[in-house]
Structure 1
Amino acid sequence: MCAIFGIVGEYDEAKAKRALALLSHRGPDYCGITQKTNLFFAHQRLSILDENARSHQPIKHENILLSFNGEIYNFKELKQELSSEFNFKTQGDSEVIIAAYLKWGADFALHLRGMFAIALMDADTLYLFRDRLGKKPLFFMHQDSFIFASEIKALTPFLNKTQMNEDALMSYLSFLAPTAPNTFFKGINKLASGEYLVLKNGQYEVKRYFDLLDTNPSIITDRDEALYTLESLLKESITMRLDADQPMASLLSGGIDSATINYYAKHSGVNLQTYTLGYENFAKYDERQNAKETADFLSLSNIDVEITQDDFIDASDKVLDSLDEPLNDPASVPLYLLFDRIKRDGYKVVLSGEGSDELFLGYRQYFEFLDIEQMSKLSNKNWLKKYFRSNYSQNREWEYYKRIFDDTLLFRTSGETFTDLQKNALMKRNVKDNQALKYLKTYRDRFEASPHTDESIWYSYIDLNHFQAEQFLTKLDRVSMAHSIESRTPFLDHKLASAVFSLDPKLRYEDGVTKSLLKQIMKPHLNEKILNRKKKGFSNPYMEYLVDSKKLELIKEVNQQTGMFKPKELDELLNSASTGGFKQHIWGLYVLSVWLKKWIV
């Protein structure tokens, strides 16, 4: 796991090196730079495999330069396949990318199984790849020169002036994070998951090389076949991610996802050290007892880390700064503190359970949306449409039924926060109803053009592409890499995800049980208590902390300077914080205010 950085075109060497140094936390073990006229190509290395200097990057082969961030889990198989055509000199996975490119050209990424952000320079052509499910980030900007980096912080020094991207703001308010290709910094873009960029002769083009919707639907219709296929792929995915030359740990909650990862790791002969978060004086958020029961059942060593309000508040500014731009996920702060402890204990690789909920329908609301979808079939619904239109409510349930009766898209990611009508009521601008749909349009267009028709596939598809890739995985990448730790997410293996998309969709939800297939897979291996434990997620007392510490005053302070929101409506929203109302909305405004204060006002 590392950082990649480069400039194609004119550059100032000292400025380029200062920008590169801003990424040193992602790769503190070695810094490599290749320079020539109109090219600065660099890499910050975090050594996980083949720590020898022979695997330092950038790697050069004839006219090819490679800077790569990530892990290729099938590199040994690829190396064996390509060994007759390429003279390998290292024991790591980076060199395999060059060999694969020489054999398959730009299609080489289709042969990789793993997580990656890749910069490959072939003579005068630059290729940038982001992995299929968006686990590794890749940002770029194009002014007089073309510049790319693993994090935004290495690109901001090259902005002529800092301006906020309005599309990033509006998509963030709607969906917790800016939708690709937007970032909050006007002029800085990001690749979406499954995309690659080609730069040649000063012009670039972004293309898509992978889409889960390309999987044919309902290839597997038998439940037993589905369980066998998914268990095989899940076990394989976890086992592949146990390969490292560094000490490895795992996150452990009280739920089925982390228990599954640790069960198969142990089954493969690896006893991972596990870590669990707890909160002083907030038992309702605490999973330490549940995690202890799981650890005892699986005979795992578990360390619990307790967070206090002071810990949270003291770390929050540092955490939000590490994210580079607003990200509405309050779990980023406690997760940052947890990784701080893991780093101090000497671990450089951590396994985590992201992606299971989206693949196996782990959110109860998926089932609620499927029920609401049925109302679209009502033949006489005009009077209901008029009724909902004339009886406005801020409650999201009102919004959902209105959409059904209006014949507009119901599900707009699990991360939907401010509806368009809520934004219109709060902001000093006219926000039209359904305006936010433009940020989901490319995804919805692909879905409607695909052979998939079951709306549950849409739920998983948009959540994997945005809710997961641009929120959860962004959070995980930044807070883990801030501590020079590589995070691996076995549920987000593209072969496993593709297999889920190949099932008869009803197999996932017909019995009305969340994560039904995963629970059936794990029934022989875990006890009933773990299998059926109520989902907590990564919840934490962030709003209680903000209210008690009076941090929310920052929102009003910044709004006085920006005039973005109506004061009266903003006050009403903030007053609900003490009663636990609109928590996600308010945290999102707080995070936004922190960023605005640093960069804009």
Structure 2
Amino acid sequence: MCGIFGIIGEYEEEKARKALSSLTHRGPDFCGITQSKNLFFAHHRLSIIDAHSHSNQPLHVKNILLSFNGEIYNFKELKQELTCEFEFKTQSDSEVIIAAYLKWGVEFVNHLRGMFAIALLDDDTLYLFRDRLGKKPLFYLDGKSFIFASEIKALTPFLSNIEMDDDALMSYLSFLAPTPPFTFFKGIKKLAAGEYLTFKDSHAEVKRYFDLMDNKPNVIANKDEAVYMLENLLQESIDIRLSSDVPIASLLSGGIDSATINAYALKNGVSLQTYTLGYKEFAKYDERVNAKESAEFLGLKNQDIEISQDDFIGASDKVLDTLDEPLNDPASVPLYLLFEKIKRDGYKVVLSGEGSDELFLGYRQYFEYLDIESLSKLNNKNWLKKYFRSNFSKNREWEHYKRIFDETLLFRTSGENFTDLQKNELMKRNVKDNQSLKYLKSYRDRFEKSLHADESIWYSYIDLNLFQAEHFLTKLDRVSMAHSIESRTPFLDHKLASAIFSIDPKLRYEDGVTKALLKKISKPHLNEKILSRKKKGFSNPYMEYLINSKKIELIHEVNKQSGLFKKDKLDEYIKGSNSGNFKQHIWGLYVLSVWIKKWLL
């Protein structure tokens, strides 16, 4: 796991080196630079596989330069396949990438299994790749020179002035994080999951090399056959992520996802040290009791970390700085503190359960949306359409029924926050209803052009691409790498995801039970108490902390200067947060206010 950075074109060496140094936390073990006129190609290394210096990057073979962030879990199999055509000098996965490129060209990426952000320079052609499910980030700035980096902070020094990108703002308010290719810094863009960029002759072109919609639907319609296939793929996915030359730990909540990962690791003969978060004086958010029960059942060592309001508030500014741009996920702060402890204990790799909910339908709301979808088949609904058009409510359920009777897209990610009508009411601008659909259009177009027809597949597809890749995985990458820790997510294996998209989608929801297939897979390894626990999620008392510390007042302070929102409507939202309503709306506005104050005021 590492940090990559490069410049194609003119540059000032001192400025380039300073920008590169902002990524040291992503790879403190070694910093490598290859430079010449109009080329600065660099790498910060976090040594996980083959720590020998001969595997340091940038890796230079023939006329090819490589800077690679991530892990290729099938590199040994690829190496065996390529050994007759390439003289390997290291035990690293990075050298295998070059060998694969020399054999297959840009198609090499389709042979990789893992998580990666890759910068590969072949003579005068630069290729940038982001992995299929968006686990590793890659940003770029196409200006006087072309500059790329693992994090935005390495690119901001090259902006002539700081402007907020309006599409980033509007998509953030809607979906918790800016949607690709937008970032909050106008001019800086990001690759989406499954995309690659080619830069040659001062021209950049972005293409897609992977799409879950390409999987043929309904290949498997038998539940037992589906369970057998997915069980084997999950076991394989966890097994290959246990490969490391450094110690591995695991997160453990009270839920089924992390328990399943640890159960399968034990099946492979690996007992992982586990970590759980708790909150001082806020037992309702605490999962330590459940996690302890899971650890005792599995025979695992479990370390719990308790944080207080002072811990949370004390770390929040540092965490929001780490994220570079607004990300509406209050769990980023406690997760940062958890990884801080894990680093102190000497671990460099951590397994985490992201992706299970999206793949196995773990959110109860998926089932509620499927029920609401059925109302679209009503023959006589004109009066309902008129009713919902003439009556407005902030209530989320009202919005959902309105969409159905308006015959517009119902599900717009599990991370939908402010609706367009809420934004129109709150912001000092005209926001048309359904305006935010433009940020989902390319994904919806691919879904509608595919052979998939079941809306539950759409739910998983858009959530994996936005709610997961741009929200949860952004959080996980930044807060883990801030402590030089590599996070691995076994559920987000592209072979496992592709297999789920190839089964009859009804198998996931016909029983009316969340994660029905995963529970069948895990039943031989977990007890009924773990399997039947109500989903809690990574909840925490962020709103209580924000109110008690009076940091919430920053929203009004910044709004007085920025003039983005109507004061009376802002007051309504803040007042509602005191009684537990619109909590994530308010956290999102707070995070936005912190960024605006730092960069624009």
Encode CA deviations 1:62-107: one digit per residue, 9 max, x unaligned: 1000000000000000000000000000011100000000000000
- Is 1:438 equivalent to 2:438 in the alignment? yes
Q: CA deviation at 1:583?
A: 0.2
Q: Which amino acid letter does the alignment assign opposite residue 139 of structure 2? A: F
How far apart in 2 are the matches of 1:453 and 1:286? 40
What residue number does 2:542 align with?
A: 542
How far apart in 2 are the matches of 1:110 and 1:304? 40
Q: Secondary structure at the match of 2:380?
A: coil
What residue number does 1:379 align with?
A: 379
Q: CA deviation at 1:596?
A: 0.2
Encode CA deviations 1:234-272: one digit per residue, 9 max, x unaligned: 000000000000111000000000000000111111110
- Is 1:48 equivalent to 2:48 in the alignment? yes
What residue number does 2:466 align with?
A: 466
Encode CA deviations 1:467-503: one digit per residue, 9 max, x unaligned: 0000000000000000000000000000000000000
What residue number does 2:197 align with?
A: 197
Q: CA deviation at 1:391?
A: 2.1
Q: Which amino acid letter does the alignment assign opposite residue 160 of structure 2? A: N
How far apart in 2 are the matches of 1:388 and 1:443? 27
If the length of structure 2 is used for normalisation, what is the TM-score?
A: 1.00
Q: Give identity over the alignment, percent.
A: 78
Q: Which amino acid letter does the alignment assign opposite residue 436 of structure 1? A: S
Q: Which amino acid letter does the alignment assign opposite residue 494 of structure 1? A: H
- Is 1:104 equivalent to 2:99 in the alignment? no
Encode CA deviations 1:374-410: one digit per residue, 9 max, x unaligned: 0000011000011112221100000000000000000
Instruction: Summarize the alignment of residues 458-537 of structure 1 with structure 2, pairs less than 5 Å apart.
Output: 458-537=458-537
Q: CA deviation at 1:43?
A: 0.1
What residue number does 1:353 align with?
A: 353
What residue number does 2:551 align with?
A: 551
Unaligned runs of 5+ residues in structure 2 are none
- Is 1:416 equivalent to 2:416 in the alignment? yes
What residue number does 2:449 align with?
A: 449
What residue number does 2:595 align with?
A: 595
Encode CA deviations 1:152-188: one digit per residue, 9 max, x unaligned: 0000000000000000000000000000000000000
How far apart in 2 are the matches of 1:456 and 1:70? 31
If the length of structure 1 is used for normalisation, what is the TM-score?
A: 1.00
The 4+ residue runs of structure 1 with deviation greater than 6 A are none
Q: Secondary structure at the match of 1:85?
A: coil
Encode CA deviations 1:338-387: one digit per residue, 9 max, x unaligned: 00000000000000000000000000000000000000000110000111
What residue number does 2:310 align with?
A: 310
What residue number does 1:87 align with?
A: 87
How far apart in 1 are the matches of 2:91 and 2:416? 44
Q: What's the C-alpha RMSD, in Å, of the aligned pairs?
A: 0.4
Encode CA deviations 1:2-55: one digit per residue, 9 max, x unaligned: 000000001101000000000000000000000011110000000001000000
What residue number does 2:188 align with?
A: 188
What residue number does 2:389 align with?
A: 389
Q: CA deviation at 1:577?
A: 1.5
Q: Secondary structure at the match of 2:235?
A: helix
Q: Secondary structure at the match of 1:330?
A: coil
- Is 1:31 equivalent to 2:31 in the alignment? yes
Q: Which amino acid letter does the alignment assign opposite residue 223 of structure 1? A: K
How far apart in 2 are the matches of 1:12 and 1:266? 52
- Is 1:322 equivalent to 2:322 in the alignment? yes
What residue number does 1:235 align with?
A: 235
Unaligned runs of 5+ residues in structure 1 are none
How many residues were matched structurally?
601
Q: Which amino acid letter does the alignment assign opposite residue 540 of structure 1? A: N
How far apart in 2 are the matches of 1:48 and 1:525? 29
How far apart in 2 are the matches of 1:450 and 1:184? 32
Encode CA deviations 1:270-303: one digit per residue, 9 max, x unaligned: 1100000000011110000000000000000000
How far apart in 2 are the matches of 1:169 and 1:388? 28
Q: Secondary structure at the match of 2:551?
A: coil
Q: CA deviation at 1:572?
A: 1.2
How far apart in 2 are the matches of 1:388 and 1:128? 46
What residue number does 1:282 align with?
A: 282
How far apart in 1 are the matches of 2:576 and 2:361? 31
What residue number does 2:572 align with?
A: 572
Q: Which amino acid letter does the alignment assign opposite residue 193 of structure 2? A: S
Q: Secondary structure at the match of 1:552?
A: helix
- Is 1:63 equivalent to 2:70 in the alignment? no
Q: Which amino acid letter does the alignment assign opposite residue 444 of structure 2? A: R
Encode CA deviations 1:511-540: one digit per residue, 9 max, x unaligned: 100000000111111100100100000000
- Is 1:3 equivalent to 2:3 in the alignment? yes
Encode CA deviations 1:190-210: one digit per residue, 9 max, x unaligned: 000000000001101000000
